[in-house]
Copies of this chain bind each other. A is one copy, B any other.
Amino acid sequence: MTTHTHQTAPTQFVQANGIRFAYRRFGKAGGVPLVFNIHFLGNMDHWDPLVTDGFAKDREVILFDNAGIASSSGEVPTSIEGMAANAIAFIQALGLSQVDVLGFSLGGLVAQELSLTAPELVRRLVLVGTGPRSGEGMASLTPEAQKIFGATYDPPDNLWLSVFFAPSESSQAAGRAYLKRFRLRTEGRDPELNEKVGPRQLEALAKWGAPRPNPFDYLKAIYQPTLVINGDNDVIIYTINSYILQQNIPDAQLILYPDANHGSQYQYPERFVRHVSMFLSEEGRVSAPRFRVEPSIQEMHS
C-alpha cells in the first residue's frame, strides 16, 4: 500500500513498444485505476494536485508521459492513432486488464481512439475540454489559440492563464491559484519538453481535425459510459464540440461549467472531482454495447 501523493509519487519506468514510459502511480489501490492523458505541450507535472489527489482518496491514479514526452523515451507520433497505440502498450505493460481513462484536450482525442482500438481495456471514459474528429474549429488551432500560443509570457507559466482560464477576474484568480499548485511539486519534476514535441503534436491535431464526410459517425462505436466536461466558453477547443461529443456517443453525459475556458477542471477542482467520482462509481451502462465485434467472433476468424 502506498501513501504517496501527487507531490511525492516517484517517477517510475516501464518498457513497451520499444519505449521507456515514465509514469507515477498513487492513491487507493484495489479498484479500477484512472489513467490520465495530458494535453498539447503537457507533461505529468501539468495535472492539478487538487484533482489528482482528490481522486487518489478513492481510487488509484496513474499519470504518464506518452512517447517522446518529457521523461519518456521515443518520438511523438504524428497521429492520434499512434499516440493511442503507445498508450495502450503502456497500460498493458503495467499488467492492467481494465482501466478508466481520462483525457484532457489532445489527451481526450487519444482517449477516444484508445477506447475504439482497445475497447475491452476501457471501463469508463472521461473527456475533458476536447472534441470529435473534424470538430468545429479543429482543422487547425483556433484563431484564439494561435494568438495565445504565439505570444510570450513572463513568467512562461502565465501561458496557462490564457490557455485554461477565462478573462474574467474570478477565472484569472482561479488560474493564479492553479499555477501555484502546479509548482508545488519541487522534487523529481519532469524535464521540459523538447522542441520536436510541438510540431509533431500539431501535425497529429491537424489530421484529426481535418474535414471529412460524416465525421461524427465513429463516435457511435464508443460504447463505454462516457462523461464529457468542459468550460462554457472554451476558446482552444470550442465548447460546442463537447456538445457534439455528447450528442453522438451513445451513452454520454455532458457537464458544462460557467465562466470558464479550456481548463474548467482546474477552475473548479473539487466540483470536478465530485462529478467525475460520482460518474465513475455509477453501476452498469445505460446503452447496450453496439457496433462491437465480440472477442469470440474475432477469435473465430483469427
Contact = CB atoms under 8 A, between A and B. Distances in A.
Contact of A278 (B250, B252, B274): B274
Given A170-B286, A271-B282, A278-B274, A250 B258 contact: yes
Nearest to A267: B286
Nearest to A240: B243
- Report which residue of A250, A253, A278, A288 has the largest number of chain B beta carbons within 10 angstroms of its beta carbon: A253
Contacts of A190: none
Nearest to A259: B286
Contact of A250 (B239, B253, B259): B259
Chain copies in complex: 2
Interface in A219-275: 232, 239, 243, 246-247, 249-259, 271, 274-275
A244 to B, nearest CB: 11
B253 A257 contact: yes
Taking residues whose C-beta sits less than 8 angstroms from the other chain, chain A's interface range is 20 to 34
Nearest to A287: B259
Interface in A158-188: 168, 170
A168 B286 CA distance: 11
A243 B246 CA distance: 12
Contact of A287 (B170, B254, B255): B170
B274 A286 contact: no
Contacts of A286: 170, 258-259
Contacts of A257: 253
Q: Which of A250, A254, A257 has the most CB of B within 10 A?
A: A254
Contacts of A282: 271
A274 B279 CA distance: 11
Contacts of A254: 232, 254-256
Nearest to A225: B258
A70 to B, nearest CB: 33
A25 B170 CA distance: 38
The 10 A-B residue pairs whose C-beta atoms are closest, nearest first, are A254-B256, A251-B258, A259-B286, A255-B255, A258-B286, A252-B258, A246-B256, A259-B287, A243-B243, A253-B257
8 contacts: A232-B247, A232-B252, A243-B243, A246-B258, A251-B258, A252-B258, A254-B256, A271-B282
